[in-house]
Amino acid sequence: MTKEPTRILVAGGGYVGLYTALRLQSRLRGELRRGAVEIVVVSPEPYMTYQPFLPEAAAGSISPRHVVVPLRRILPRCRFLGGELVSADPATRTVQIRTLAAEQADGVPEAVRYDHLVLAVGSVSRTLPVPGLAEHGIGFKTVEEAIGLRNHVLEQLDIAASTRDPQVRDAALTFVFVGGGYAGVEAVAELEDMARYASRYYPNVSAAEQKWILVEATNRILPEVGLRMGEYAVRELRGRNMDVRLSTRLDAYEDGVAVLSDGTRHPTRTLVWTAGVKPNPVLAACGVPLDERGRMRCTPQLRVTGVERVWAAGDAAAVPDLSVDDPAPDGKPALCAPNAQHAVRQARLLGDNIARVLRGHQPVSYRHRYAGSVASLGLHKGVARVYGRRLKGYPAWLMHRTYHLSRVPTVNRKARVLAEWTLAGLFKREIVSLGSMEHPRAEFEAAAGSDRTPGGP
């Protein structure tokens, strides 16, 4: 009787899923060749999105297809299964996967066994019960949302250019972004850069008419780069006539008006929500212990606490930070921050630890040295804190691009991104809105409808 291979099932195709699978196929090359090990990657999308490049994709500096990494190409020794994790049962070592084929048929999830499970389902946008947000807000977590937002912003310039109604123009040229973290700050900075440049091609729309509002509930933005660099970022954005409102919340979005907690009301057609993320809700159906934030409780070795053969890392994992000596004020151990730097490092160690366990060795604990943080504030502008050194302006922007170019997977993607940056420096920006891409059949349906005659089919 032929022995079945040891199956390592990686649920998720984001940072943790991709880098764990990459590490595993490198470390277990011999076992994979002999058929002793099988790596299965489950993801609803056949690609990983390199999220730090989303603001530049939205601004048109990078093509959307170069922001994503195809999983099948980069993981040739793994089996890719297109589908979504529905639940997991550690007792029977099985997971329920709703495959793409099942969605087209009866919708019944498929049971898949595993010997080791990596829960890398990541996070989703964290929303609040703000009236009107769910109906009208725009997220900024996927490449589809980034490109949709680019098209939307350019469409607002078209609307403003085609009317003399002051109320319509004011609403079209007001852009409200909620959230002062990396995503919110970089998105508003890059898109303001793009819209200001685009306005030169609209004779009756000036850059001065545009209102860009960044709303942050705390008293600072970009906390990862430190207080001084965060204050510099505020000054830089305000110096570009952007309205940065600290210690302010979005209370409602009603009748096309954003209502803020400071009592101001802003008619707008653009409300972008980037106020944080939360662990994927599917974890509640996976039989793993969760903390008060919904993250999986993990050991420093990246095992899920108390659950055999289940591993986790990244945004959805509460991993103890062994580099911090002092516990938190409530006496609990410090945890690693949910950011890409930790996710990539943890994923590589996770792959190493699974390989160690399969070979009869003990896994090692996750420890890290803080490298720093970088953020873009638009073309040729940025802030950074790298190994204790503070940078701002052009050097920080160059550091931002250099760092992320070194981190994006595959030489192929690095070369393509570098080529696009080079071409963008030699030629003018593209300012074409392709909003019709979101409804590609609209024109055909309209044409088909116009061809119908009374009594016809």
**How many other CB atoms are there within 10 angstroms of residue 457's CB atom?**
4
pLDDT in tens, 60-114: 889 888 999 999 999 999 999 999 999 999 999 999 999 877 767 677 899 999 9
**Average pLDDT for the chain:** 90
SS3 249: coil
Is the C-alpha dihedral spanning 201, 202, 204, 210 positive or negative?
negative
Characterize 53-85 residue by residue with b for buried, 16 or more Cβ atoms within 10 angstroms of its Cβ, and e for exposed. Answer: bbbbbbbbbbebebbbbebeebbebbebbbbbb
Element (H, E) at 101: helix 100-104
The model carries a pTM of 0.88
* Selection from 287, 342, 284 nearest residue 309 by Cα: 287
Provide the pLDDT for residue 23.
96
Burial class of 104 by CB neighbour count within 10 A (0 to 12, 13 to 18, 19+): exposed
Alpha helix (H) residue ranges in 164-297: 166-172, 182-198, 227-239
Does residue 330 surpass a pLDDT of 70?
Answer: no
The single-letter DSSP state of residue 295 is P
- The DSSP letter of residue 218 is S
- Indicate if the pLDDT at residue 449 is higher than 90: no
Residue 336 neighbours by CB under 8 Å, 6+ apart: 319, 320, 321, 342, 346, 366, 368
**pLDDT at residue 457 greater than cutoff 50:** no
Domains of the chain by start residue, with CATH: 6-125+278-359 (3.50.50.60), 143-275+372-426 (3.50.50.100)
pLDDT in tens, 196-234: 999 999 989 999 999 999 999 999 999 888 889 999 999
Of 24, 34, 33, the residue nearest 3 (C-alpha): 34
Across residues 411-433, what is the average pLDDT?
A: 85
Res. 293: pLDDT tops 80: yes
